[in-house]
Structure 1
Amino acid sequence: MAAIETNDLTRRYGDVTALDSLSLSVPEGELFGLLGPNGSGKTTTIEILTGQLDPTDGTAAVLGHDPVADPLAVREAVGILPEREDPPSFLTPREYLQFVGDVRGFDAAEDRIAEWADRLGFDHKLDTLSTDLSEGERQRVMLAQTFIHEPDLVFIDEPLVNLDPIMQAEVKDHMREYCERGNTLFLSTHFLEVAEELCTSVGIIRDGTLVAERDPADLDPDEQLLDYFRREVEAAESTGPGATGNDGGDRPLEADGGSNA
């Protein structure tokens, strides 16, 4: 069964096409990476799939729910980590995660809060106002709210931003273990090394169009993911209709890992 299914998903803003007839099928248990330059349509895709934005055309299903017809059902069923979003500055991590527990309606919230605070290394900051946390600590709190209700599907946009190398490794391990238990993770990133290391399937999006899909394990032994996707992007640019007006369309994919702080 597909955890995510899209058919000709399109989003236009006036004359600009941010997403152009995107068709995807992500099976349950997949760690799927959507790669592309800034402005290529990755965040737009996540916003549509999580019911935050309506498509102009096309359809989508997320865990069997229509994110347009029933966005609340989708948001209740999944975990979401937007890029560079912080917990409310006027709440402590404990208060924020208690709020998440109330909204999600799960039992034993205090136990789960303690577990995730310990796992992600902010247990000593549980009662510190979020405005006084470092960027890395705020990212850890947001990761906790993504997984704390044990969803079957998680959408994550650049999960390793502001994390130190040790915490990056721990978060990567958790994402692998999460999918090994049969859950699905939809990862948006422009860092190819992260995708190559983690993902069981990857797709590259350029100017709102999916130009290639591949299992990194199927690459030739002497070929890196960067080489493969550079070739696919260049082929798409030479045969496609040209840029659609998205900002960042000329920026290359990154071959580095996540940001450190």
Structure 2
Amino acid sequence: MAAIKTRELSKQYGDVVALDSLSLAVEDGECYGFLGPNGAGKSTTINILTGQLVPDSGEALVAGVDPVETPVEARRHVGILPESGRPPSYLTVREYFEFAAATRGMDESTRDERVDRWAERLEFAHKLDTLCTDLSQGEQQKVLITQAFLHEPQVVFIDEPLTNLDPIMQERVKQFFETYRQDGNTLFLSTHFVETAAEVCTQVGIINRGRLLEELRPRGMGGDALLDRFFASVDEDVSEAVLKQGSA
């Protein structure tokens, strides 16, 4: 069974088509890159797959669970790292992890062991009793990464994970992603950065206007080759849309 599977997912906001019959399958152990321009449908897709948004039509399964029918159960099986999220300002880092662990049914001993491991890995052990509002942007990003992986979910949805991290920490996080994937887990990475997708992802789906245009295996292609393929796919899609409008 695929870790992530959608069939004919569609979503429309007024006259704007956000998703247009999107069908995809992501296998266990993949790092799947979702690559597209602004407004392509990436965030809408992730919001549906994480049980935060209901599609107009179509079906989805994540880790064998329907995120539309049973969103609470689905979120127990996934981790979510949002692009623009921030940890609660009124909690300390430790309190935030306690809250996140409780919502996922983790026991205290497991939680504390994993928090210590992540605090060492991302170098924020000295900040555990600091209010989240007093953290730098880079430190907040470390905290958000930790909460996404704290319960060691089978599937993790990641939106621009390297934002605000210094180059050394970026490499450390990328190495962890590779290890996590090799352990049989699945990462779904939404990004605007082609170089990141080429380096980190095992498969890339190019999306535009809510439609999956092409899927590629980027490793060995290099960032420039993937960028060329991305532009070619999107330009072709836009040209087709213009022609259809002209003939309508």
Aligned residues: 243
Q: Equivalent of 1:141, from 137, 140, 143?
A: 143
CA distance in 2, matches of 1:202, 1:237: 19
Q: Equivalent of 1:125, from 121, 124, 127?
A: 127
Residues 7 and 222 of structure 1: CA distance in aligned 2, closer, same or farther (over 3 Å): closer
Letter in 2 for 1:88: P
Contact 1:207 1:243 in 2 (8 A): no
1:97-131: CA deviations, max 9, x gaps? 01111221223211211111111111111111111
The corresponding residue for 2:170 is 168
CA distance in 1, matches of 2:94, 2:63: 30
CA distance in 1, matches of 2:219, 2:75: 32
CA distance in 1, matches of 2:2, 2:153: 16
CA distance in 1, matches of 2:35, 2:129: 37
Letter in 2 for 1:72: V
Letter in 1 for 2:35: L
Letter in 2 for 1:226: L
Higher helix share: 2
The corresponding residue for 1:65 is 65
1:18-58: CA deviations, max 9, x gaps? 11111100011110000111111111100000100000111
Report sequence identity in percent: 56
The unaligned stretches of length 5 or more in structure 2 are none
Matched, 1:39 2:39: yes
Contact 1:19 1:209 in 2 (8 A): yes
The unaligned stretches of length 5 or more in structure 1 are 245-261
Query: CA shift at 1:67, angstroms?
Result: 1.1
CA distance in 1, matches of 2:73, 2:212: 27
Letter in 2 for 1:99: F
CA distance in 2, matches of 1:153, 1:92: 27
The corresponding residue for 1:233 is 234
Query: CA shift at 1:223, angstroms?
Result: 6.0
Query: CA shift at 1:240, angstroms?
Result: 3.0
SS in 1 for 2:83: coil
CA distance in 1, matches of 2:103, 2:90: 18
Residues 212 and 242 of structure 1: CA distance in aligned 2, closer, same or farther (over 3 Å): farther
CA distance in 1, matches of 2:220, 2:242: 29
CA distance in 2, matches of 1:242, 1:88: 48
Letter in 1 for 2:132: S
1:82-97 matches, cutoff 5 A: 82-97=82-97
CA distance in 2, matches of 1:210, 1:230: 14
SS in 2 for 1:142: helix
**TM-score normalized by the length of structure 1:** 0.89
Query: CA shift at 1:241, angstroms?
Result: 5.6
Q: Equivalent of 1:212, from 189, 205, 214?
A: 214
